[in-house]
């Protein structure tokens, strides 16, 4: 059995799929068709081909950086390493970045990049050389630049690649005091921010928590109560999927009953221990040796397992015309970008499935990237100036209350209350606030314009409104 459900030939390409969803929302807006077109199109896509001498011969690599919208700069978006990377894909992903940053109110335009490479084909030293050369090719065209274009990790890349990129950029721009702000998702010791690695998965958790605070929304999805005991099926246990599954199971009491990975499917009706499974995968042990559940060969039909919440967190197009009719959940949260095709979206909507859309659901990554970028251009860690002062004031208040009010607080309460906010506390609080605020903006749009019908259309509507307002203010 294949581990990727093959898209039906009637299916649209990724970019066309995003455009169709965009058009649906735009059709409810009183905007000129010319302005709508300006907002929708991708401004530019650069293809770079470069050679790196490896294993005694020159290998030519192809990379892309699509800049969808520069209405705000810098533009922002991850860099993906995968053999499937192509122009259509990076343009779709760049468009989603534009709408995402508008929706969660970040001062960025949208961009996305990719390199056609299977990272597993190369050892670490080789990957470093390829990444440094790719960085050089992007930097010489200002496609990586603290005030113009700021990449971040995506599928197949992470802190390690961002460390190589920032180092290479700094070598090329050693007089630029803001050079550290050229990429986000860096290791903390190289100018990164606490909480960036977990941010996208954390954002998925906060998005679900917010959804569950609204009884009417839960009712639409046929759900009750809170996340405790809810059955989850998740596809992809990489950065996003692992953190989302870990937080939802360890902190909210949800039960991850199925993990659909590239190398197999793991099931456990009592709930999979996500940390144990992740460690097992990281140690490169055969999946079939995992004792915490039943393991079967790769098979995307596992996405059809009955559950309360389905979380596609791997790649685009995995829920499409060929399986949308068989999906047995009432709630999908799109942790990946574009996991539900436009055609599948229609089928699922008609079947009453509630979808929390990607542009909102996975915005945690770019939100914390924004905090990192702000930290880099400010050259100071969040919380550094005020933490101890806050602690002193909190202590003063408690002491005064104890003395005058004849009260005695427990040692635990005192230490928790007194503690000033560290960087990670501020990052999580800022992320939670962003996710709650954006969800409520989407809800409000839906309440004001019920004809929008669903969260995705309302999210597009909110984002397009924001961008249109920007263009109108500057006379376009």
Q: Which of 456, 351, 344 is nearest to 8 (CA)?
A: 344
CB 457 to ligand NAD: min, Å: 20
Please state whether the peptide bond connecting residue 111 to the residue before it is cis, i.e. omega within 30 degrees of 0.
no
Distance between CA atoms of residues 217 and 105, nearest Å? 23
Q: Which of 281, 283, 308 is nearest to 295 (CA)?
A: 281
Q: Check: CB of residue 369 under 8 Å from CB of residue 431.
A: no
54 token code pair: 């490896």
In a 13 Å sphere around the CA of 76, the CA atoms on its Cβ side amount to 28
223 or 309, CB closer to ligand NAD? 309
CB 104 to ligand NAD: min, Å: 12
State whether residue 235 is helix, strand or coil. Answer: strand
CB 193 to ligand NAD: min, Å: 13
Look-up of token digits 């509507």 = 461
256 token code pair: 């991850």
69 or 218, CB closer to ligand NAD? 69
173 or 301, CB closer to ligand NAD? 301
Distance between CA atoms of residues 193 and 204, nearest Å? 19
Q: b/e per residue, 445-454, with b = 16+ CB within 10 A?
A: bbeeeeebeb
Q: In the bound complex, which residue of the shown chain has the CB atom lying closest to ligand NAD?
A: 238
Distance between CA atoms of residues 74 and 181, nearest Å? 10
Residues 6+ apart with CB under 8 A from 175: none
CB 447 to ligand NAD: min, Å: 27
260 or 459, CB closer to ligand NAD? 260
336 or 353, CB closer to ligand NAD? 336
124 token code pair: 């670490």
CB 454 to ligand NAD: min, Å: 20
CB 261 to ligand NAD: min, Å: 5
CB 78 to ligand NAD: min, Å: 6
Distance between CA atoms of residues 428 and 283, nearest Å? 29
287 or 464, CB closer to ligand NAD? 287
CB 252 to ligand NAD: min, Å: 20
Contact residues: ligand NAD, CB under 6 A: 3-4, 153-156, 200, 235-241, 260-262, 313-315, 335-337, 362, 365
Sign for the pseudo-dihedral over CA of 318, 95, 369, 131: positive
133 token code pair: 């050369």
Distance between CA atoms of residues 281 and 278, nearest Å? 5
135 or 362, CB closer to ligand NAD? 362
Q: Which of 345, 343, 368, 446 is nearest to 203 (CA)?
A: 368
Q: b/e per residue, 4-30, with b = 16+ CB within 10 A?
A: ebebeeebbbbbebbbebbebbbebee
* Catalytic (active-site) positions: 112
Q: Which of 117, 141, 143 is nearest to 54 (CA)?
A: 117
218 or 246, CB closer to ligand NAD? 246
């Amino acid at each position: 059995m294949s581990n990727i459900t093959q898209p039906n030939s009637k299916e649209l390409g990724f970019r066309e799929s995003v455009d169709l969803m965009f058009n649906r929302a735009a059709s409810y807006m009183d905007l000129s068709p010319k302005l709508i077109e300006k907002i929708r199109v991708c401004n530019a896509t650069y293809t770079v081909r470069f050679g790196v001498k490896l294993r005694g011969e020159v290998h030519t690599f192809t990379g892309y950086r699509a800049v969808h919208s520069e209405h705000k700069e810098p533009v922002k978006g991850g860099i993906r390493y995968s053999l499937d990377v192509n122009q259509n894909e990076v343009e779709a992903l760049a468009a989603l970045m534009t709408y995402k940053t508008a929706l969660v109110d970040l001062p960025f335009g949208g961009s996305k990049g990719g390199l056609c490479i299977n990272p597993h084909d190369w050892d670490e030293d080789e990957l470093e050389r390829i990444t440094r050369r790719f960085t050089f090719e992007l930097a010489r065209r200002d496609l990586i630049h603290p005030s113009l274009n700021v990449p971040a990790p995506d599928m197949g890349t992470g802190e390690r690649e961002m460390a190589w990129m920032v180092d290479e950029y700094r070598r090329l721009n050693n007089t630029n005091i803001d050079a550290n702000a050229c990429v986000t998702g860096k290791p903390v010791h190289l100018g990164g921010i606490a909480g960036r690695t977990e941010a996208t998965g954390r954002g998925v958790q906060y998005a679900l928590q917010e959804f569950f605070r609204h009884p009417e929304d839960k009712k639409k999805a046929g759900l009750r109560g809170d996340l405790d005991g809810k059955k989850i099926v998740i596809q992809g246990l990489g950065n996003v999927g692992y953190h989302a599954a870990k937080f939802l199971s360890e902190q909210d009491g949800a039960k991850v009953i199925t993990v659909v990975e590239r190398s197999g499917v793991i099931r456990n009706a009592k709930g999979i221990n996500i940390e144990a499974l992740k460690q097992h995968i990281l140690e490169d042990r055969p999946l079939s040796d995992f004792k915490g559940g039943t393991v079967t060969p790769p098979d995307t039909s596992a996405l059809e397992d009955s559950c309360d919440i389905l979380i596609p967190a791997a790649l685009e197009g995995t829920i499409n015309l060929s399986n949308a009719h068989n999906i047995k959940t009432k709630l999908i949260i799109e942790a990946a970008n574009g996991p539900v095709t436009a055609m599948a979206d229609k089928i699922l909507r008609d079947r009453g499935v509630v979808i929390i859309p990607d542009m909102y659901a996975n915005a945690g990554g770019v939100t914390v990237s924004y905090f990192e970028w702000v930290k880099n251009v400010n050259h100071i860690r969040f919380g550094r100036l005020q933490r101890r002062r806050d602690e002193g004031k909190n202590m003063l208040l408690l002491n005064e209350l104890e003395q005058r009010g004849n009260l005695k607080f427990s040692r635990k309460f005192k230490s928790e209350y007194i503690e000033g906010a560290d960087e990670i506390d501020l990052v999580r609080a800022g992320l939670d606030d962003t996710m709650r605020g954006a969800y409520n903006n989407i809800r409000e749009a839906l309440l004001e314009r019920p004809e929008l019908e669903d969260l995705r259309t309302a999210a597009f509507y909110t984002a397009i409104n924001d961008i249109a307002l920007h263009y109108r203010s500057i006379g376009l």
